[in-house]
């Protein structure tokens, strides 16, 4: 993205990234319903959303500092793009069997 000089190419790339992000988010919300009992799905999704929002706020502070200091967006976009791969890797490492949790009734 930082190397694209056309306005419409930039808009197209951002739109493509946002569409991919929405697909990722929709699938991510179903993971909690696959792994946790019905009574815990809302709490797990809420905790995940809160942690994601806090992380986004901290990342915003870092991005602002970095761009003001260096004037470059390359690292910011590289981190954002690789975050999905890291999240997928963590999901696979934390749920190797990907089996639903059994409720304790």
Cα angle 49, 55, 60; round to 5: 125
Q: Would you state the torsion angle of the CA atoms of residues 44, 48, 54, 58, taken in this order, to the nearest 10 degrees?
A: 150
Query: Does residue 76 contact residue 67 with C-beta atoms inside 8 Å?
Result: yes
Give which of 73, 99, 69 is closest to 13, Cα–Cα. 73
Is 15 within a domain? yes
Is 105 within a domain? no
Residue-wise pLDDT tens digits, 13-23? 989 988 988 98
How many independent structural domains does the chain possess? 1
Q: 75 φ, ψ to 5°?
A: -65, -40
Domain of 64?
Answer: 7-94
Residue-wise pLDDT tens digits, 43-85? 998 998 899 999 999 999 999 999 999 999 899 989 988 988 9
Is 17 within a domain? yes
> pTM score, two decimals?
0.68
Is 104 within a domain? no
């Amino acid at each position: 993205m930082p190397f694209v000089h056309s306005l419409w190419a930039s808009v197209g790339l951002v739109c493509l990234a946002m569409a991919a992000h929405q697909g990722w988010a929709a699938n991510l919300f179903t993971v909690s319903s696959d792994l946790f009992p019905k009574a815990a799905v809302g709490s797990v999704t809420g905790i995940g959303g809160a942690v994601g929002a806090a992380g986004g706020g901290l990342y915003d502070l870092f991005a602002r500092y970095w761009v003001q200091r260096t004037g470059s967006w390359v690292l910011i976009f590289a981190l954002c793009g690789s975050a999905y791969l890291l999240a997928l890797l963590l999901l696979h490492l934390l749920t190797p069997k990907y089996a639903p949790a059994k409720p304790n009734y």
